[in-house]
Amino acid sequence: MTAVRPEHEFDPLTDPSPSSRLRSSRGGPNPAGGHGSPWFRADNIAQDGAPYEVQGQAQAQGQAQVPGDAYARVAEAAPAPAQEWYAEPAVDPMPASGPPFPEPDPDPVPLTEPEPDAVPYDDSTMALKRIAEPPAPPTGGRAERRRAAKARGHRAPSGSASAPAEPGASGRPRTRAEARRAAKARKDSPAVVASRIVGELFITLGVVMLLFVTYQLWWTNIRAHQQAGSEAKKITHDWASGKQAPGAFEPGKGFAIMHIPKLDVVVPVAEGTSKHKVLDKGMVGHYGQGSLKTAMPGDKSGNFAVAGHRNTHGEPFRYINRLKPGDLVIVETQQAYYTYAITGMLPSTSPKNVSVLKPIPVGSGFTRPGRYLTLTTCTPEFTSTYRMIVWGKMVDERPRSKGVPDALAG
């Protein structure tokens, strides 16, 4: 290694001192910066081993050029004074071709990042620190990933082998026992489950009851009115066409129409008191079968007794409790109009009290045979615990040929 003086103490082109810096064979500065060490080539060395300077430098100093020789012999550099000595690293020789002075980097980037192979050390002890390398991710199948997760202190949940365990209160992953206890704590107790089931049953029962009430109070009336209206039209059509002959009628067959002007009721009368065939269809049923058989309106003596719903299914007798003595009820048949005047009422009696249906009704105040009317319905409203009875007596019989009675004329 050659020692040189600081650059500010001499000019390498004008100072002929033997301690001048050595130049390259092409006369250019050291690319590494400043005037560095000479670039040695094979032809720069004389046979006696002395270094040579480039001929161009010799010409610059005014020396004579040696013909046929590319280099001039120079004396070996004397050691420089002992001040501000420094050594410059050796660099690779400049290529044979190219510019004599390499262009400097216009925008040098300072090296701020440490070298990749640098090893950190402790400033206090100057000891090398141990770098903890992260564990390599597990490779392979699901079983190997499970084993790796178990080795780290947690187990991956089912369905996701790589999912981390849920952290506990301390921030660390839960163990198996802690995870089981947490899952058990999240489960509802039997009392909570039972109360939830009971609540759902009550809600379902309430909805069903609401639907049932809506059906009974609203839909059955609509449906019964439609069926009763259709039956009344059929009866009048049979009368006009002569299809219906006087006499006995089959159960469920309509044969008359009842008018209650005060209550604005017009309802067909059918044979029998069957709930499904007669009463639930919005009609009034005639007690005309078995031991409860009663007279027809055209009979010269007897009790014409009928039954009807007070609530739901058309409820034709809902307001018969409003009838007063003297109010009229007209029964229209194929032959005539029969008018009855209300005479009395029994607000409540047992359903087994069939004496009210006798030819001379018990409790009606009638004492001798006659042509009577008996209306029966359930009471109180929306129940069938008891029966309400309303009686009447025939006051007029008008053949159809004489026209409509005055009570129906309006």
Which of 74, 95, 116 is the last residue before a domain boundary?
A: 95
Q: How many domains are there within the chain?
A: 2
- Flag whether 265 is in a domain: yes
- Give the confidence band of 143 by pLDDT, cuts at 50, 70, 90: confident
- Flag whether 41 is in a domain: yes
Same domain for 231 and 83 = no
Q: What is the pLDDT of residue 93?
A: 52
Q: What is the pLDDT of residue 244?
A: 72
- Give the confidence band of 168 by pLDDT, cuts at 50, 70, 90: low
Range 132-153 average pLDDT? 68
Range 26-47 average pLDDT? 44
| Catalytic (active site) residue 387 | yes
- Flag whether 133 is in a domain: no
| Catalytic (active site) residue 398 | no
Which is catalytic among the residues 5, 259, 309, 371? 309
Same domain for 258 and 398 = yes
Q: What is the pLDDT of residue 308?
A: 96
Looking at the DSSP assignment, which residues form a beta bridge with residue 389? 346, 376
DSSP run (H or E) holding 387: strand 386-399
- Flag whether 352 is in a domain: yes
Could you report the per-residue pLDDT of 176-222, keeping only the tens digit for each? 888 888 887 778 788 888 999 999 999 999 999 999 989 988 999 99
Range 112-134 average pLDDT? 50
Locate all alpha helices (DSSP H) within 3-133, ordered by sequence: 55-60
Tell me what percent of the residues of the chain surpass a pLDDT of 90: 45
DSSP states along 319-360: TGGG--TT-EEEEE-SSEEEEEEEEEEEEEE-TT-GGGGSSS
Could you report the per-residue pLDDT of 276-329, keeping only the tens digit for each? 999 999 999 999 888 889 999 999 999 999 999 999 999 999 999 999 999 999
Which of 95, 113, 148 is the last residue before a domain boundary?
A: 95
Could you report the per-residue pLDDT of 89-111, keeping only the tens digit for each? 555 555 555 555 555 555 555 54
DSSP states along 267-314: EEEEES--TTTTGGGT-EEE--SGGG----TTSSSEEEEEE--SSSTT
Same domain for 398 and 252 = yes
Q: What are phi and psi of 409, to 5 degrees?
A: -65, -35
Among 174-183, 346-355, 401-410, the range scoring the smallest mean pLDDT is 174-183
Which is catalytic among the residues 23, 35, 318, 387? 387
- Report the CATH number at residue 367: 2.40.260.10
CB neighbour list of residue 361: distance below 8 Å, 6 or more residues apart:
303, 355, 372, 374, 389, 391
- Flag whether 122 is in a domain: no
- Flag whether 145 is in a domain: no
Q: What is the pLDDT of residue 153?
A: 59
- Flag whether 371 is in a domain: yes
| Catalytic (active site) residue 378 | yes
C-alpha 134/C-alpha 132 separation (Å) is 6
Same domain for 235 and 89 = no
Amino acid, single-letter form, for residue 206: G
Which of 95, 115, 143 is the last residue before a domain boundary?
A: 95
The dihedral over CA atoms of 201, 204, 210, 212, expressed in degrees to the nearest 10, equals -100
Amino acid, single-letter form, for residue 316: P
Buried b / exposed e over 301-317, threshold 16 CB at 10 Å, is ebbbbbbbbbbbbbbbb
- Flag whether 163 is in a domain: no
**Structural domain span for residue 4:** 1-95
Q: What are phi and psi of 67, to 5 degrees?
A: -65, 140
